[in-house]
Amino acid sequence: MKSRLKKYVVVDLETTGNQASREDRIIQFAAVMVEDGKIVQRFSTFINPEKPIPPFIKELTGIDSSDVQDAPLFEDVAETIYALLEGTIFVAHNVSFDWTFLQKEMLRIGMTPPKIPLLDTVELARILYPEIDSYKLQDLGDEFDLAHENPHQADSDAEVTALLLIQLLAKLERLPLPLVEKLTAVSSPLKNHLPTLLFETEMKKGKQREEIPAHLFVYRGLVLRKKQLPKNQAKKVDSGRTFPQEVEEKQALLKQAGTPLYARNGQFEMMNLVYRAMVEKKHALIEAGTGIGKSLGYFLPALYVAKDRQEPVLISTYTNALQTQLFEKDVPLARSLAGMDVQAEVLKGREHYLNLFKFEQLLNESDPQYDVVVTKMKLLVWLSETETGDIDEVNLSSGGALFWNRLKHTGWYLPEGDDPFIQHDFYKFSVEKAKRADLLIVNHALLLADHFQARKILPDYSVAVIDEAHHFAESAREKKSFILSYRKVKYFLNQLGTLEKYSLLSRLAFVFPGEESLFDLNIAQVKLNEAIESFFTELHALLVSTKKADTKLVLIENQEVVHFTETLRYAADNVAVLFHEVERHLSNLLEKGRAEAPLKEAETAFVEEVYSFLLDWKAMSDEFKRLEVKGEEVMTITLESDKNHHVSSLRIIGSYMTPEEALKEAFFSKKESVILTSATLSVNGKFSYIKKELGLSELELIEAQIPSPFNYADHARVLIPSDMPQIKGTPVQDYTRILADYLTEMLLITKGKMLVLFTSHEMLRLVYSYLKERQELEEFMILGQGISSGSVNRLTKQFRQFDRAVLLGTTSFWEGIDIPGEALSCLVIVRLPFAPLDDPYTKAQIDLHKKRGENAFQTFSLPQAVLRFKQGFGRLIRRETDRGIVVIFDNRVDTTSFGQSFLNSIPAVTEIKGEKSILLEEMTNFFKEEEE
């Protein structure tokens, strides 16, 4: 019996569709046998489905009717398949799909499926490799370099799944015994073979008496990675080193460090400007063109200043991903150039870190929900690998993300000493590292939270660098804005629950039996549930009655009431009062918990969980209060729904309108020197717009624009078609068809390698469908954001992988993606990126500028669009050797007085305007030169 359990049959099916319950049938079956970590047998056959193969299946798999017309029927191979499966463990990538289909087919021909255990490689990969971005078979194949010759054909997919299984089983064998024991205990609610596999691995490892690897330790049953604080070193610049002001000194540093970098005058100029601003205690705006190497341009001077002042210099960027990139790529470079020890740390907001005590206690809670079980197992493995405890390292499912709300760090309500994991706490460790850092890397959201909120997070600092500074005002606006959705409110109400049903409230009753506040809380919760329904029902009625076809309704614009009826105001006030009532009773119970300390460990962890819930609840309660719109805040509040106007889809979006004053008061006035840098800060050669956005107009600044070192005149062209119809007045179907014709001819010249940027999802979808119809583009991979599956990163990766590809993107593709080299040689801008005038936030900003007596187009709409345009243009030339063409289809760039602002704001490049034939000839010649 034991030898049988080691025999895995790895199966993959191709079918006429993905609905086993319908009349979809199998068209290909493949099985790969794995024993003792090796592939021992393969079997594959096409199967005649006795029905046509749909076009989308043919496109996906490459299998057409000619492949299956002479193939056996399922009943002809059923006995062979049965014999292969009998006595094995059935494995597949998303096992329920393949097993359900196979069962259905067997039952259809009167055969009883074998009773065999099931194992899913998706599930196993999610648990054993918690940090991988995607668990799709093709992506895992790429991750582990598993040869995948024909994705979406059963024989190739089964082969890769078998190799993946071998890899997963090998990793499972390598896990330390205490970790496998925990995994076995947590896995019990799973209905497949995994709990048995884990138990067998536990038994086997128990007999082997292995030692825990030196880099790990076991604490209270959890396997954790050892971590060590950096030594406190004298921060003063060592050996009399001084900042290299002269070009020769910087060149000597480059030579001495032996880096692959070459001397860049623009970068040297930036280093000196940054150093000067920091030493002279001034703020600076520095626009650094693509290719300057701005990260090193501020890292090197920041390092000298940090060492000299013996306090950290803060480096802030826009996203967590950019934080990681700076830490992993640019810090080592600065370290090697400076030739001295550099302590750099990444710090994120508290809620990014795992609370070990809460996690330990929740492991004991038997929650049978699939996502909760898998997330617990995933985090157990991750804890043996992470030094940071930062959840951004983990790929969580949506259910896992909800469970994370109960595990995240929110500080301590009870004395820290009551937490048995205090010595190993990830957040405290990260803060301690931050205190010892020369360079502290954060994101804009954390920096702004530190200044806008009462809870101090960051260590003392007086000098900061704001990278991606064109996002800083927007980040401030977002930090002071809010989103209140029906689903979010109902989620928290359900979490709170009632005394009758297992929930936070019923668990509170176990810890504080008979407390009067419990019954008051229960009544308040029931009333609040009713009040929320009334409030959102009132909102829904208002939306439907005033804008039947629309999904957005402005409730309040710039403090002036637009649509807030007396009934709605009453309903909102009622909700706000009840929210506060719940908050008061929860606070009372927590106070009782603090008074009765020390509690039992499980109760202590639970009190901390309630405290975490209360913090989220208070934040939501404050958002309801902000619906009253106090005079000191300029807010625009919008109601949004899905196109069917479901109550459950309603979201109230409160947009803060004027972050400049808050930034000036809370941040810039409190720091000695802030360096703001980005590749896109100026409009028409001036910083006026960005200075006004940031509240810097009246301050004395060091300002500089350092142009890109790239040779745009030779390496790039801007083409402007003169024979496109006007977008206004042309039906969108007609315009997009003409655009698709144009793009098709261009694609044949560029052989793909084209990124097309849209401002409208509708236009993107239409162009995508027209391009897919073209026979001459059959060999091209056409990717459309919101149509092709996958995130921005996934689509970008696919675009790079295919020789002949075109990628159609909207907002998120205008910036932030990096496609250097030959992968991208043509950038198409369909429309100048003005924000849509029907967007409530944009409309409110325009009205606000008008009320101030300004020309809203010149002071808001145009500069915002120019900066977005510059970001889009910057996608094309990412390295010195890159070449490419930008095609601007929006002829306003040429026919309007404001159009020149766009062209003036990009590097000097040859512009050619003309009809299609002229432009296609120019493209042909340009790319011919490249080949020569």
Range with the largest mean pLDDT of 5-9, 213-217, 569-573:
213-217
Q: Tell whether 581 and 730 lie within a shared domain.
A: no
- Average pLDDT of the segment spanning 481-490: 93
b/e burial code for range 661-682 (CB count within 10 A of at least 16 → b): ebbbebbbeeeebbbbbbbbbb
Numbered residues of the known binding site = 288-295
Query: Does residue 420 surpass a pLDDT of 90?
Result: yes
Please tell me the predicted confidence (pLDDT) of residue 221.
93
Per the model's pLDDT, the better-predicted residue between 241 and 46 turns out to be 46
Q: Tell whether 607 and 717 lie within a shared domain.
A: no
832: CATH: 3.40.50.300
Nearest to residue 348, comparing CAs of 226, 434, 225, 423? 434
Q: Is residue 811 assigned to a domain? A: yes
b/e burial code for range 173-210 (CB count within 10 A of at least 16 → b): eebbbbbbbbbbbbbeebebbbbbbbbbbbeebeeeee
Q: Tell whether 31 and 142 lie within a shared domain.
A: yes
Q: Tell whether 492 and 601 lie within a shared domain.
A: yes
Q: For the ranges 86-90, 535-539, 586-590, 802-806, which has the lowest average pLDDT?
A: 802-806
122: CATH: 3.30.420.10
Q: How far apart are CA 348 and CA 333, in angstroms?
A: 22
DSSP, res 443: E
Instruction: Using alpha carbons, list the distances in angstroms from residue 617 to 81, 478, 524, 580, 892.
Output: 56, 19, 14, 9, 49
By the 8 A CB rule, do 783 and 854 touch? Answer: no
Please tell me the predicted confidence (pLDDT) of residue 20.
61
Alpha helices in 497-565 (DSSP H): 504-511, 516-546
Query: Does residue 930 surpass a pLDDT of 70?
Result: no
Please tell me the predicted confidence (pLDDT) of residue 513.
86
Question: To 5 degrees, how large is the angle CA 340–CA 343–CA 344?
Answer: 125
| DSSP notation for 728-739 | TTS-HHHHHHHH
Share of the chain above pLDDT 90, in %: 54
Strands 560-561 and 754-757: unpaired
Nearest to residue 667, comparing CAs of 479, 433, 428? 479
Q: Is residue 397 assigned to a domain? A: no
For 166, the token pair is: 């071998």
Please tell me the predicted confidence (pLDDT) of residue 148.
59
Please tell me the predicted confidence (pLDDT) of residue 500.
85
Q: Is residue 439 assigned to a domain? A: no
Please tell me the predicted confidence (pLDDT) of residue 820.
67
Instruction: Using alpha carbons, list the distances in angstroms from residue 556 to 567, 634, 636, 656.
Output: 15, 10, 5, 12
Kindly report each contact of residues 544-551 with a partner whose C-beta sits within 8 Å and lies 24 or more positions away, as own/partner: 544/645, 551/640, 551/641, 551/642, 551/643, 551/645
Q: Which of 140, 174, 208 is the last residue of a domain?
A: 174
- Average pLDDT of the segment spanning 524-534: 94
Q: For the ranges 204-208, 319-323, 394-398, 538-542, which has the lowest average pLDDT?
A: 319-323
Q: Is residue 627 assigned to a domain? A: yes
226 φ, ψ (degrees, to nearest 5): -70, 140
Q: What is the pLDDT of residues 104-133, one digit of tens each?
A: 989 989 999 999 999 999 999 999 999 998
Report how many domains make up the chain.
3
598 preceded by a cis bond (ω within 30 of 0)? yes
Q: Is residue 265 assigned to a domain? A: no
- Average pLDDT of the segment spanning 580-602: 87
Please tell me the predicted confidence (pLDDT) of residue 261.
63
Q: Work out the pLDDT band at 632, boundaries 50, 70, 90.
A: low
Structural domain containing residue 59: 2-174
In the predicted model, what is the mean pLDDT of the chain? 88
- Average pLDDT of the segment spanning 732-750: 94
Numbered residues of the known binding site for ATP = 288-295
Please tell me the predicted confidence (pLDDT) of residue 689.
95
Q: What is the pLDDT of residues 799-816, one digit of tens each?
A: 887 888 899 998 878 876
- Average pLDDT of the segment spanning 606-620: 92
Strands 439-443 and 560-561: unpaired
Q: Tell whether 601 and 721 lie within a shared domain.
A: no
Please tell me the predicted confidence (pLDDT) of residue 2.
41
Report which secondary-structure segment, H or E, holds 723.
none
Q: Tell whether 586 and 716 lie within a shared domain.
A: no
Query: Does residue 923 surpass a pLDDT of 50?
Result: yes
User: Is residue 410 helix, strand or coil?
Assistant: coil
Query: Does residue 460 surpass a pLDDT of 60?
Result: yes
Q: What is the pLDDT of residues 648-657, one digit of tens each?
A: 999 999 999 9
By the 8 A CB rule, do 440 and 230 touch? Answer: no
Q: Is residue 300 assigned to a domain? A: no
- Average pLDDT of the segment spanning 495-523: 88
Q: Tell whether 614 and 718 lie within a shared domain.
A: no
Q: Tell whether 920 and 773 lie within a shared domain.
A: yes
Please tell me the predicted confidence (pLDDT) of residue 384.
97
Query: Does residue 141 surpass a pLDDT of 70?
Result: yes
Please tell me the predicted confidence (pLDDT) of residue 844.
92
Q: Work out the pLDDT band at 240, boundaries 50, 70, 90.
A: low
Q: Tell whether 614 and 717 lie within a shared domain.
A: no
Residue with tokens 């009253």: 628
Alpha helices in 597-658 (DSSP H): 601-625
Q: Tell whether 75 and 169 lie within a shared domain.
A: yes
Q: For the ranges 175-184, 348-357, 377-386, 921-930, which has the lowest average pLDDT?
A: 921-930
Q: Work out the pLDDT band at 675, boundaries 50, 70, 90.
A: very high
Q: Is residue 540 assigned to a domain? A: yes
Q: Tell whether 628 and 744 lie within a shared domain.
A: no
| DSSP notation for 211-248 | PPPTTEEEETTEEEE---PPP----SPGGG-----SHH
Q: Which of 154, 174, 194 is the last residue of a domain?
A: 174
Q: Which of 155, 174, 193 is the last residue of a domain?
A: 174
Query: Does residue 548 surpass a pLDDT of 70?
Result: no
By the 8 A CB rule, do 11 and 90 touch? Answer: yes
Q: Work out the pLDDT band at 659, boundaries 50, 70, 90.
A: very high
Please tell me the predicted confidence (pLDDT) of residue 15.
87
Q: Is residue 704 assigned to a domain? A: no
Q: What is the pLDDT of residues 288-310, one digit of tens each?
A: 998 888 998 999 999 999 998 88
Q: What is the pLDDT of residues 355-378, one digit of tens each?
A: 999 999 999 888 888 999 999 999
Please tell me the predicted confidence (pLDDT) of residue 359.
96
Residue 350: CB partners within 8 Å, gap ≥ 6? 408, 409, 410, 411, 427, 457
Please tell me the predicted confidence (pLDDT) of residue 383.
97
State how far Cα 750 lies from the chain centre.
Answer: 31
Q: At what angle do helices 504-511 and 516-546 cross, to 10 degrees?
A: 170
